[in-house]
């Protein structure tokens, strides 16, 4: 793969005006309108739309319920229902707000995302090291990435969206503060190369990428397949590994982004022990805002031999 094709291109092109995308343009336009609304006006509208989403999103909710039942067997059905209700509300609120990221100023972004733990970033930078930020899939991940891009140079890696317009919109948003966005097939070597250039990035270790090269490690009350590559990435790129927590505060109408102290993975004895450390990081972050994690993802898709599928 050439260097040029490793990156997504966010330039506008005539193909995005094809009639097959006109309905998608309507959706993008509506998102922009919501993005321009004051937060205090948008929030109650999101609550109303969330009720509709709950009515139609049957399959994602089944997946989310299965994940929660496997991870928290001590929770009652009522408790899971309430958590899912909040989860959908946060999803809708974040989705309706995302367009604001394309048109808000640097000052506005800093107001919307309250950053704590900046001293840990400063310490790593003072030592001349790039940073691998560890964050699971939470609804506010785009806000986290763009906010940190104001503090240090960042790159990202993403999977292409099937809809060409939505893919363009997503890449335009993620690169709006200057960071390149690589295609997932660019691979680990590309990330190492970016670390050596002094660029930092997010690594989301909770995604289930299948059994190949993954190992199983405890995750809440169950186990999950985890790809233990962060230690090698950090070593090869001379980078610090900093866990991050991200959540939305409904009272202050702000996202709260907390960067934590560096975690050293050089001392882990094997892939299994690294997977255990990564899963513990994920757990601790999710526990801070369990209602804002993307529970609809099939994070428990790969199971050990003899284990039944969670998503029956």
Structure tokens at 30: 């509506």
Residue 29 to residue 248: CA distance in whole angstroms: 24
pLDDT per residue of the chain (312 residues) written in tens, 0 to 9: 444 568 898 889 999 999 999 999 999 999 999 988 998 899 889 989 999 999 999 999 999 999 999 999 999 999 999 999 999 999 999 999 998 998 889 999 999 999 999 999 999 999 999 999 999 999 999 999 999 999 999 999 988 889 999 999 999 999 988 889 999 888 889 999 999 999 999 999 999 999 888 999 999 999 999 999 999 999 999 999 999 999 999 999 999 999 999 988 766 778 889 999 999 999 999 999 999 999 999 999 999 998 999 998
What pTM does this model have? Answer: 0.92
d(CA 157, CA 8): 9
The continuous run of DSSP H or E covering 257 comes out as: strand 254-259
Q: So what's the pLDDT on residue 4? A: 52
- Phi, psi angle pair for 94, to nearest 5°: -70, -40
For the chain, give every domain's residue range: 3-8+106-292
Strands 131-134 and 200-203: parallel
Rounded to 5 degrees, φ, ψ at 125 are: -65, -35
Handedness of CA 117, 187, 176, 42 (dihedral sign): negative
Cβ atoms of 312 and 248 within 8 Å: the answer is: no
Closest Cα to residue 124, out of 147, 157, 155, 152? 152
Please tell me the distance from the alpha carbon of residue 268 to that of residue 23, in angstroms, as a whole number. 50
CB atoms within 10 A of CB 309: 11
Whose tokens are 């509506």? That residue is: 30
Q: How far apart are CA 292 and CA 250, in angstroms?
A: 12
Q: Report the pLDDT value the prediction gives residue 188, as an integer from 0 to 100.
A: 87
Which CA distances in Å does 261 have to 18, 152, 228, 245, 279? 48, 17, 20, 12, 17
Nearest to 144 by CA among 119, 109, 97, 103: 109
Distance CA 181, CA 154 (A): 9
CA atoms of 108 and 113, how far apart (whole Å):
9
Q: Strands 181-183 and 113-116: what pairing?
A: unpaired
Strand ranges of the sheet holding 113-116, from the earlier edge strand across to the other edge: 113-116, 254-259, 240-249, 131-134, 200-203, 154-158, 181-183
Strand, helix or coil for residue 285:
helix
pLDDT at 212: 87
Which pLDDT score, from 0 to 100, does residue 242 have? 96
The pLDDT of residue 266 is 67
């Amino acid at each position: 793969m050439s260097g040029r094709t490793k990156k997504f291109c966010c330039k506008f092109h005539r193909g995005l005006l094809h009639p097959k995308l006109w309905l998608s343009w309507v959706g993008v336009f509506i998102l922009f309108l919501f993005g321009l609304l004051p937060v205090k006006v948008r929030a109650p509208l999101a609550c109303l739309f969330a009720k509709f989403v709950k009515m139609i999103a049957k399959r994602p909710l089944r997946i989310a319920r299965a994940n929660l039942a496997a991870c928290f067997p001590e929770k009652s059905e009522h408790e899971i229902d309430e958590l899912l209700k909040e989860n959908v509300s946060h999803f809708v609120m974040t989705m309706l707000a995302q367009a604001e990221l394309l048109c808000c100023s640097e000052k506005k972004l800093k107001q919307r995302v309250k950053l704590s733990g900046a001293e840990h970033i400063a310490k790593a930078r003072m030592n001349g090291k790039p940073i691998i930020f560890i964050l699971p899939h939470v609804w506010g991940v785009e806000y986290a990435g763009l906010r940190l891009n104001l503090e240090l140079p960042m790159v990202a890696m993403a999977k292409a969206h099937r809809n060409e317009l939505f893919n363009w919109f997503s890449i335009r948003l993620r690169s709006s503060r200057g960071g390149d966005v690589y295609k997932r097939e660019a691979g680990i070597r590309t990330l190492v190369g970016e670390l050596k250039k002094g660029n930092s990035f997010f690594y989301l270790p909770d995604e289930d990428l299948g059994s190949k090269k993954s190992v199983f490690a405890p995750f809440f009350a169950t186990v999950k397949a985890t790809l233990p590559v962060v230690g090698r990435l950090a070593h090869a790129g001379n980078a610090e590994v900093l866990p991050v927590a991200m959540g939305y505060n409904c009272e202050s109408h702000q996202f709260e982004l907390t960067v934590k102290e560096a975690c050293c993975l050089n001392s882990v004895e094997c892939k299994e022990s690294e997977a255990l450390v990564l899963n513990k990081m994920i757990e601790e972050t999710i526990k801070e805002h369990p209602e804002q994690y993307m529970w609809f993802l099939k994070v428990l898709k790969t199971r050990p031999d003899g284990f039944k599928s969670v998503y029956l």
